[in-house]
Structure 1
C-alpha cells in the first residue's frame, strides 16, 4: 500500500490523462499512447476500482503548450478545483502541460484539494513541500524541453535555407523536379484542371461559379 494514498483519495475517481502533441504522433508513436493508456492498470494496482477510473483522451493530437482546444484538460482542472478527483495519472509532466502557468495552476489546485499527481516515476502530494518542489522542477523541464525542440527545428530550417534546400508544400499544379526546381506538374490532367479554374474565373468573375461548374462536370 502506498503511504501517500489515503482512503479519502481512493474514494474519489482517478483521472488518467492521455495526450499526444500532434495527430502524426498519434499515428506513428503508438507505443507512447499505449503506455499512457496502461496507467489505468497502475491505478488498479494502487487500489482504485475499475469503475472509479476515468480516461481523459480527447486531447490526443493537441499541443500542450497552451489550453486552447484541450477540452479534457479543462475538464480535469475544473473537477480538481471542486475536489472531485482523488489522483491525476499522467505518463510525465509534459503530457499534462508544457506551460509553467498551466502546470503550476493545476498543482496549486491539487494541493488545495489534496489531489495526488502520479506518473511513471512515483506518487506525489502537491501539498507536501518536497513533492511540490519536485513537481515544479518537472514542469520547468517540460517547458524547457519545448523551447529546445523549437530551437532545433528552427535551426534545421535555417540551415536548409542557407543551402537553398528548404522546401515548402507547393500549390496544386506545381512540383519539384529532381534538381529541386519548381516546375509545372507533369500530369496533363492536373495542369488542365488548374488552367480550367483560372479560365472559368476570368469568364465568370466568381469563385462560387467555378465550384458549381466543376460540380456539374464531376471534376
Structure 2
C-alpha cells in the first residue's frame, strides 16, 4: 500500500496538523535550518491534498524537551485534537519530534488508531490502525527513547568525570566569579557590584529579614540598587 493510497477523502476533510519541536532554546537559536524544515512540512500537507485553511501548525513546544519531564502545551493540544477526531494526519520531521517518552508516544498512536488519524514523517505515512504500521511506529518510538537515554547517560558520565577531577564549574550566584585556580571563587571584580553585594548583607544584618531588605531595595533608586537588578 502506497502512502497516497492510505489517504482518503475523510482524512482530507479534517485537519492536517504540523507539529514542531526542538529540545532547547539554544537549538531553536542555533539550528534554524531544522526549524525551517519543520515549518516547510505545511507545504507537504498541501501536496498531499490538504487546503491551506485545514493546515494547522502547532509550534508552542519549540525549545522544550520531548522526554516527558516538562509540560508541553503543544503536544497536549495535538493529543486533544486527535482524540476529538478533528485531525486527518499528523506530520512531523521525525517521530522523535513528537515524543521521546514511550507513554506519550503510545497514547498518541492509540488515539490515532481509534480516530482513523494518519501519522507522517520524512520516511512515509503510517496508519496506526494497520498492524504493520503500528508495529513500525512503536519501534521508532522505542528507538527514539533509547537514543535519549544513551545521550543522557553520556552527558551525566562526562559531568561526573569532570567533578571527580575537580574541574566542574556551575553557574555562581550574582556577585561571584570563578578564579583561575581549581575551585577558586572570587567576588566580582567590578567594584560597584562588590559594593552592592556587601551592602545587601549589611542591610540584612541590620534589618534581620530578607523581605525587609527587598522592600528597601525596591524603593531605592540609587546606583547600588541598580547593580543588583
TM-score by length of 2: 0.91
The structural deviation recorded for 1:182 is: 1.5
Matched, 1:183 2:186: yes
Q: 1:197 aligns with which of 182, 195, 200?
A: 200
Deviations 1:57-99 (A, max 9, x none): 1111222111742112111111111211000001111111111
CA deviations on 1:106-154 (whole Å, 9 max, x unpaired) are 1011111110000111111111111111111110011101101110110
Residue by residue over 1:137-183, the C-alpha shift from the partner in whole angstroms, topping out at 9 and shown as x without a partner, is: 11001110110111011011011112211111111222112234222
- Report SS of the residue matched to 1:80: helix
Mapped partners of 1:80, 1:69: distance in 2: 18
Closer, same or farther in 2 for the Cα pair 1:13/1:67, shift >3 Å? farther
Match of 1:24 in 2: 26
| Counterpart position of 1:172 | 174
Is 2:153 aligned against 1:151? yes
Q: Which residues of 2 match residues 1-219 of structure 1 at below 5 A?
A: 2-66=4-68, 68-180=70-182, 181-215=184-218, 216-218=220-222, 219=225
Secondary structure of the 1:3 match is helix
What is the CA RMSD across the aligned residues, in angstroms?
1.4
Moved more, 9-18 or 63-72: 63-72
Structure 2: runs of 5+ lacking an equivalent: none
TM-score (structure 1 length as normaliser): 0.95
Higher strand share: 2
The CA distance in 1 between the partners of 2:106 and 2:119, in whole Å, is 12
SS state of the match for residue 59, structure 1? strand
- Would you identify which runs of 4 or more consecutive aligned residues in structure 1 move more than 6 Å? none
Name the SS of the counterpart of 2:62 in structure 1. coil
Which stretch of the first structure deviates more once superposed, 25-34 or 80-89?
A: 25-34
